[in-house]
Structure 1
């Protein structure tokens, strides 16, 4: 959906021709009518859009359209992208698209979708990518490899590493990454792993301070495995947020800053996280972080989306 407008992009997930995964339908939720359909030779794996651009990701090609006229502006040949990995910054001032650029290592291509040219390529990990996210303003990109132990944040303008977070010691698949919704410097970065845990990493001004340290002369002489050790994660984790192994997406819906009252339990930051699983469950959590850097989690709501639409026979896929 385009922000809070009535424009919705739908990709079929059924066997009927009208619900083909090779068809993208732009739908007006207010009038209940289809505005336009786009058909492709292979399945649509991901769709991203803002007020100016529509991005459609296929396995070996990514198309960029003008959102208003649906004119094809560019077609990017990519490495096989079977998971449909991509990240898109909706801001028109820093509107970037990130795509995997290798199947053997964690390299990512950053493309300027407004000016229609490649911006940079970042070698983020030694293993292939599992998840990518971009901040709202396109300033930062976060990546996780198939190992899932380290999450790295790079400054897009300079293609330099700004921060590294250690999720854990043992490998785990990162299903989803999400920055806070701030249009300025992102507040937090959230990851959801195959273990069913949600990880919250604090960013703020530390992202620049750590970045200067890791890009210093000493930092440049050390391998990544040692250099990352200079970046202790401001890390909170909620175990068993969703069932282990269930593919899920997490989004940071809002982050509220609370004034310090001087009390030990004063909340300095409150983040609201929305989670949707691929078996239809929706959950909303809040995490309160006080001035002592302690956190408290609360489950605010939970319901089954499939139960809400149990009478419907149409099937769609999350892209």
Structure 2
């Protein structure tokens, strides 16, 4: 659910404007910009309340909130290799952890915190920030594409298994072993998203024309949807609804698509209307003559179409989308890098074009909406902080070069900073939920 530079995450914020993303259950919104970051809570009647603002601070290009708690993970341009874990309600930094390469993405749930570098991923126990496992020498992933399921029962991590084709590597982040490899697309991946339970994953490639949904446990393809036929479409985000009935998709075009994950039936009104039109005629013709047509042609007609859509006021602006329920009404949320949150009504029965219900400015000031938060180019001189710390352990800092000494002190302070007893997320005195009423 994160606005990223290649797509996503939704999911690597290498874009001009704000960094924007929703938390794991779509109850709040985090915005990072050149002057700090802001946190908002989605409220009844499609309202939006600012619950925290760090203004006049460092330029923030990554900020991730843990559900509705007061825990946030922050990365700034001034220290792109350092992850800060903060208690925003108290305005304190709990700990920090440094790496020898630029942090491209951070994902977290109640059990794990994932740090994605260009060629490695670090899996932390979120309660004490200890590194449990390091996935090294991953295929080059300059946009930091990865996804972590919100569930702690099926706690899976997904990341590209190849830089040339669309393979999805599924990793069990609890038992710390590779689970399966899903051959999702012929082209490199552009977006990944788990559903809330971690049982399904949606994918899109750099072509951006087809969205696929797979079963995580066995890699079986469950659904295939055609987003469009345009070339050079860059997917900005993919997201499941909390009920896993819908998948939404935003791109660099002005259209946001919503797909409904149901098996087609003859009784469906949409199918009846299609049967009476030219598309229905062609579909029937393809069905009858499937054995005589190229596979690419039959695939196009067998793919599902968008159930609903919205048309944004502008195109070419990256955005992140989500589907949630507000006051018992389905809502499609679209947050743009320009600093605008659009709230649309989603008709769960008939679909169609979604009407705009409300929009909010989330950038703070007009100037903040245009700040270009570009993290520096990541280097390939090292894999991660722990690796470098191990290489330097036992050496006298006074005999090191300036760069080595700086990294040594960074890593020493990083591994010593988490509290020995760990973070008690189930203790409301330490991490109270922060909502509109709080």
TM-score range, shorter chain: 0.7 to 0.9
**Residues 70 and 87 in structure 2, CA contact (< 8 A), matched pair in contact too:** yes
**Residues 345 and 354 in structure 2, CA contact (< 8 A), matched pair in contact too:** yes
Shift of the alpha carbon at 1:308? 5.0
In the alignment, is residue 98 of structure 1 matched against residue 125 of structure 2?
no
SS at match of 2:364: helix
**Residues 123 and 134 in structure 2, CA contact (< 8 A), matched pair in contact too:** yes
In the alignment, is residue 307 of structure 1 matched against residue 364 of structure 2?
yes
What is the alpha-carbon distance in structure 1 between the residues aligned to residue 327 and residue 305 of structure 2? 21
71, 84, 89: which one aligns with 1:25: 84
**Residues 308 and 354 in structure 2, CA contact (< 8 A), matched pair in contact too:** no
In the alignment, is residue 243 of structure 1 matched against residue 314 of structure 2?
yes
Q: Deviations over 1:265-301 (max 9, x none)?
A: xxxxx521222222322222222243xx343522232
Shift of the alpha carbon at 1:204? 3.8
Name the counterpart of 1:298: 355
Q: Deviations over 1:131-163 (max 9, x none)?
A: 111111111111101111111111111111111
252, 267, 274: which one aligns with 2:323: 252
SS at match of 1:229: helix
Name the counterpart of 2:177: 117
Name the counterpart of 1:261: none
Structure 2 runs not aligned, ≥5 long: 1-64, 266-289, 376-438
**Residues 12 and 316 in structure 1, CA contact (< 8 A), matched pair in contact too:** no
In the alignment, is residue 65 of structure 1 matched against residue 129 of structure 2?
no
Structure 1 runs not aligned, ≥5 long: 208-217, 258-269
**Residues 235 and 249 in structure 2, CA contact (< 8 A), matched pair in contact too:** yes
SS at match of 2:298: helix
Could you say which structure has the higher strand fraction?
1
Shift of the alpha carbon at 1:89? 0.7
Q: Deviations over 1:176-202 (max 9, x none)?
A: 0000112xxx11000001112110000
Name the counterpart of 2:5: none
Name the counterpart of 1:197: 255
What is the alpha-carbon distance in structure 2 between the residues aligned to residue 189 and residue 109 of structure 1? 21
Residues 294 and 190 of structure 1: CA distance in aligned 2, closer, same or farther (over 3 Å): closer
Shift of the alpha carbon at 1:30? 1.2
**Equivalences, count:** 282
Name the counterpart of 2:301: 229
Could you say which structure has the higher helix fraction?
2
SS at match of 2:127: coil
212, 218, 241: which one aligns with 1:180: 241
Name the counterpart of 2:71: 7
Shift of the alpha carbon at 1:29? 1.4
SS at match of 2:346: strand
**Residues 197 and 242 in structure 1, CA contact (< 8 A), matched pair in contact too:** no
In the alignment, is residue 140 of structure 1 matched against residue 194 of structure 2?
no
SS at match of 1:79: coil
What is the alpha-carbon distance in structure 1 between the residues aligned to residue 171 and residue 356 of structure 2? 37
Q: Deviations over 1:89-112 (max 9, x none)?
A: 111111111001111111110001
